[in-house]
Structure 1
Amino acid sequence: MKKGKVYLIGAGPGDYKLLTLKALECLQKADVIVYDRLANSEYLKQGKAGCEYIDAGKASSNHTLPQDEINEVIARKAAEGKIVARLKGGDPYVFGRGGEEGEYLYERGIDFEVVPGVTSAIGGLCYAGIPITHRDAASSFHVITGHLKDENDELDWDVLGKLKGTLVFLMGVANLNKIATKLMAAGKSKDTPVALISWATCYNQSVVTGNLEEIYEIALREGVKPPTLIVVGDVVRYREKLNFFENRPLFGKRIMVTRARTQSSQLVSRIQDEGGRAIELPTISIKENEDQTVLKSAIAQIDTYNYIVFTSQNAVEIFFKNLLESGKDLRALGNVKVAAIGAITEKVLREKGILADIVPEKAVAESLYTSLEKMLRKEDKVLLPQATNARDFLRDSLDKICELTYATVYETVMDTQTSINGLEEVKSLEERRTELVALLENKEVDYITFTSASTATYFMEILGCENLLKLEGVKLISIGEITSAKMRELGMNVYKQSPEAKIESVLETISND
């Protein structure tokens, strides 16, 4: 039997991109991932096919698995010869009980490594605009747990009250009143600045500030709840100048993405980078047609064609896949002019090494036809690879003015999967509808983006016409005219239409709102 191993991995404080490269590598090769509540659930998507996922929970006083059971399960899985990724919020050794898990493994002769993570004690303060040290305010810092192993034990408040550096209490918001009272009794000035940072580094991060004397009353008034960091010290005063995270254009916005799963990464990444939460609800899936006879035949005699017209990135990907499989490469297109609808299609072509000769001003078939009509001759041969369920306009219009080869290369179908805690599962239409309606009823969505008519069509199929009114209060953003027309046809209210058919323009429309 192959030898198993456990990686005790720090997942960082919450922001998806604060995971280390080594942690990512360990997740991707793991046979089993045992994860905590505070580890970003998006990391679970990094698991390989067939990976086993075990929810260890670990909310305050509410553990899905008690610590002794977590120790036992990671050891048992490794003893079976498996690679185990133990994914923990923050850093494994900063009040993460990583030391206890490491000892347990050592005593049983099980190989393990520890992968450090960004601790919320530093990263969380950073994202709140608070430097944990500053030459003019604090030359040291002290990280203290708000929960001692034995509740009868006491921190040395006399020492803590005299420290001049920054004090950071983790998991201590339930004891906030005691912490503030004890520090003042130990000599800490009642005017000492305090910050409470909830859900640090996440889209829903919130920060309240005050001083030691008033912070408990402020916390009650603001309804502060775990997970929350407590920061005590003069460094809190720098928040006004250094608060970069909450000034991001999409901070706090919850944006639903309805694009195909394989195409949503750019949009999701941009939303996260700009401070928002991306809620993935893929409504469409791209299914490549099994019969590519027409396309393959055209590629075999591609040197006889004058134009290739691409109306989507999917058509580009499938065309070039078949081009290479035929034994040809870009040189075969030397005498062919290439037309493309939309910035996304143009970008994918550029990535393939092709600069489109014709890109219409508007990303619609009518605008492209207007451009082509002026230059096409009756004897010109034009290849148009499209979706089986694409609009007829371009095909019918080109067929009247040139020698057209129309190849249906893929089909847009409704996506049947959903994402729960970062894990993709096949769900029935009714299950997907129930989850979507729950999100809308709980007011968990601020914007929904639609990047094609088909995303709107299948979104409504998932939602159900009877639930249309549940979209009230949600702002629906369309990428362009055709998409907007379909949305209105389906009874949806288009809140705003992107000026350009680009992902960047969609996000800018939301940012400017």
Structure 2
Amino acid sequence: MKTGKVYIAGAGCGDFELMTLKLKMLIEEAECIIYDRLVNKEILALAPKSAELIYYGKDNCEGGLIQEKINATLIEKAKEGKNVLRLKGGHPFVFGRGGEEALDLVDAGIEFEIIPGVTSAISVPAYAGIPISHRGINTSFHVFTGHSKDDGEKIDFETVSKLSGTLVFLMGIKNIEMITSNLVNFGKISSTPVAVIENGSTCHQRTVVGNLETISKIVEENHIQSPSIIIIGDVVNLREKLAWFEHKALHGHKVLVTSEKTQAKVTSRLVRSLGGESVECPFFTLDKKSFTIPRLINFDTVLFTSPQSLHAFFEKIEDIRQLLHLRIGVAGEKTKEALNTYKLQANIYSNSYRTQELLNLLTEKEEKVLLVRSTSISAELAVYSQSITELETYYVDKVLRSDEEVIAYINDVDIIAFPNACTVKTLIDSVGREILATKLIIASNENTALKIKSYGLHVNAFGNGEITEETFKTCMETEHCIKGEKDGVVNRRNKGFTHSARAAS
């Protein structure tokens, strides 16, 4: 059997979009992935379903025994003929013990590659508005591990205290008192600025600032936990003007995205761009169905209700000139943009995604209309005309989820985004309305918002057919959200529900 190859890779820190293109390619092709606790789970979601995932949840207080198991597993899986991806947070050669793993692979005669990652030592301060170096302030920076076999005693604090550059301590939060007191004892000025950044580059990032004398107490008072990094030096003062990430609209918020998977990816990307974290939990799937385009010469108008149905139609059509005699109508801005990609302009446009509003724009009752959509609404069409023919391009199926699973998803977030009224009904039929009462709720359109309100729930914001940046920002500006500043958000998220919540609805 041919021996496999091992890739020792850094996944970056926090924000999964900080991973490299090379790592993304390797994940998508991986046969076996061995990963640590600091690896963002959204990175793992890129792996093939056939990939073997092995978790080693090592933290700062665990060491040798688990590392030995990791090294042995790397060798074992490679000898099984698998290409193995060893996935670490940050950079594998920056206090990541990647060198130890590589040496064991050399001894075992196994081929390997090192895939660098974005280290937290530089990227996390940037997310907190702290340049690791700045002209006129420092000409160097120095990175230390704040955790070692002897709890940091191997650091030569007498030498370190005399360094003029920025000091960065990784994995040192449990030893912060020892680190700061040693620096002061060996001559570092006690008023030297210090920042501690927890959960850097994630939606839960928190930054506290003090100096060598005060920071330990500040960390204790704010219950700062691992993973955190410590930044010491005058560059910390720049944060007052340069802080940016923690000012984003959704920073500190976790959003449950309930759209079908394609749209969920779009919404999740928006959530991340606004500083939040998304949790995808689709309640419906949208799968292409086999269909035949009828003879278009028999129609006067063709209407498209969504980008998905429009693209499915154009993938089928053999000659776009078949549309020359037709008026084209679209529902919603995204559908219009999709039409424009085929160098076509709409004759009929509704800024709403509601099919009924698009049909209301038809001027001739007798015109023959081809309605291209995802699913049938035949019962609703009679009020418009007997000359409407539906062309269904997708199957819409429910995703079967247990009540316990849905409750766990909801308890983990503080904002819920609903794409349509059907999803609202499905979720509330499953777990009841009470569990939603403490959440911030947004909807893609007014019809969905009305459905939510019919259950006696508050809607913080709704879009005009889609959830946009403006929808989220409006939500965060409402009085309900203002009352839910950071402490309030934590309170909502910590108010867990059990399966018995359904009975209360």
What is the Cα deviation at residue 85 of structure 1?
1.1
* Letter paired with 1:162: K
What is the Cα deviation at residue 48 of structure 1?
2.0
What is the Cα deviation at residue 84 of structure 1?
1.0
Q: Does structure 1 retain, via aligned residues, the 8 Å contact 2:339–2:345? A: yes
Please give the root-mean-square deviation of Cα atoms over the aligned residues, in Å. 2.2
User: What TM-score, normalized to structure 1?
Assistant: 0.88
Q: Does 1:411 align with 2:405?
A: no
Q: Does 1:320 align with 2:319?
A: no
Q: Does 1:507 align with 2:450?
A: no
Give aligned pairs, total. Answer: 478
User: What TM-score, normalized to structure 2?
Assistant: 0.89
Moved more, 4-13 or 476-485: 476-485
The gaps in structure 2 that reach 5 residues or longer are 479-505
Paired position in structure 2 for 1:160: 160
What is the Cα deviation at residue 112 of structure 1?
0.7
Output one character per residue of 1:62-89: Cα deviation in whole Å (capped at 9) or x when no partner.
5798111111111211122211111100
Paired position in structure 2 for 1:140: 140
Q: Does 1:149 align with 2:149?
A: yes
Paired position in structure 2 for 1:480: 445
Paired position in structure 2 for 1:452: 420
Distance in 1 of aligned mates of 2:67 and 2:368 = 69
Q: Does structure 1 retain, via aligned residues, the 8 Å contact 2:11–2:88? A: yes
Distance in 2 of aligned mates of 1:107 and 1:412 = 54
Q: Does structure 2 retain, via aligned residues, the 8 Å contact 1:412–1:454? A: no
Output one character per residue of 1:23-47: Cα deviation in whole Å (capped at 9) or x when no partner.
1111111111111111111001211
Q: Does structure 2 retain, via aligned residues, the 8 Å contact 1:92–1:98? A: yes
What is the Cα deviation at residue 396 of structure 1?
1.9
Q: Does 1:386 align with 2:380?
A: no
Q: Does structure 2 retain, via aligned residues, the 8 Å contact 1:194–1:211? A: yes
Paired position in structure 2 for 1:223: 223
Partner secondary structure for residue 96 of structure 2? coil
User: Are the structure 2 counterparts of residues 240 and 265 from structure 1 closer, same or farther at C-alpha, using a change threshold of 3 Å?
Assistant: same
Output one character per residue of 1:376-413: Cα deviation in whole Å (capped at 9) or x when no partner.
352x32111334454743x223334xx32223333322
Output one character per residue of 1:122-171: Cα deviation in whole Å (capped at 9) or x when no partner.
00111111111112221111100011134585311100111111111100
Distance in 2 of aligned mates of 1:134 and 1:387 = 55
Partner secondary structure for residue 139 of structure 1? coil
What is the Cα deviation at residue 179 of structure 1?
0.5
Of the candidates 378, 382, 389, which is equivalent to residue 396 of structure 1?
A: 382
Distance in 1 of aligned mates of 2:378 and 2:451 = 12
Partner secondary structure for residue 155 of structure 1? coil
Partner secondary structure for residue 60 of structure 1? coil
Moved more, 224-233 or 245-254: 245-254
Paired position in structure 1 for 2:345: 355
Q: Does structure 2 retain, via aligned residues, the 8 Å contact 1:147–1:172? A: yes
* Letter paired with 1:219: V
Q: Does structure 2 retain, via aligned residues, the 8 Å contact 1:13–1:119? A: yes
User: Are the structure 2 counterparts of residues 500 and 404 from structure 1 closer, same or farther at C-alpha, using a change threshold of 3 Å?
Assistant: closer
What is the Cα deviation at residue 277 of structure 1?
0.8
Distance in 2 of aligned mates of 1:228 and 1:170 = 7
Moved more, 172-181 or 490-499: 490-499
User: Are the structure 2 counterparts of residues 340 and 64 from structure 1 closer, same or farther at C-alpha, using a change threshold of 3 Å?
Assistant: farther
Q: Does structure 1 retain, via aligned residues, the 8 Å contact 2:256–2:410? A: no
Distance in 1 of aligned mates of 2:288 and 2:64 = 42
Distance in 2 of aligned mates of 1:178 and 1:149 = 15
Paired position in structure 1 for 2:299: 305
What is the Cα deviation at residue 496 of structure 1?
2.5
What is the Cα deviation at residue 2 of structure 1?
4.2
Q: Does 1:174 align with 2:139?
A: no
Q: Does structure 2 retain, via aligned residues, the 8 Å contact 1:343–1:501? A: no
User: Are the structure 2 counterparts of residues 437 and 49 from structure 1 closer, same or farther at C-alpha, using a change threshold of 3 Å?
Assistant: closer
The gaps in structure 1 that reach 5 residues or longer are 417-428
What is the Cα deviation at residue 459 of structure 1?
2.3
Distance in 2 of aligned mates of 1:366 and 1:122 = 53
User: Are the structure 2 counterparts of residues 153 and 360 from structure 1 closer, same or farther at C-alpha, using a change threshold of 3 Å?
Assistant: closer
Q: Does structure 2 retain, via aligned residues, the 8 Å contact 1:369–1:397? A: no
What is the Cα deviation at residue 225 of structure 1?
0.9
Q: Does structure 1 retain, via aligned residues, the 8 Å contact 2:352–2:464? A: no
Distance in 2 of aligned mates of 1:333 and 1:396 = 25
Q: Does 1:97 align with 2:85?
A: no
Q: Does 1:130 align with 2:130?
A: yes
* Letter paired with 2:149: K
What is the Cα deviation at residue 3 of structure 1?
4.2
Paired position in structure 1 for 2:497: none
Output one character per residue of 1:276-321: Cα deviation in whole Å (capped at 9) or x when no partner.
111211111114445x3xxx151xx223322111122332233233
Paired position in structure 1 for 2:253: 253
Of the candidates 319, 326, 335, which is equivalent to residue 336 of structure 1?
A: 326
Output one character per residue of 1:404-463: Cα deviation in whole Å (capped at 9) or x when no partner.
2223333322223xxxxxxxxxxxx32xx223323544xx4222111212222222244x
Of the candidates 435, 450, 474, which is equivalent to residue 405 of structure 2?
A: 435
Partner secondary structure for residue 46 of structure 1? coil
User: Are the structure 2 counterparts of residues 490 and 409 from structure 1 closer, same or farther at C-alpha, using a change threshold of 3 Å?
Assistant: farther
Partner secondary structure for residue 95 of structure 2? coil
Q: Identity of counterpart residues, as a percentage?
A: 36
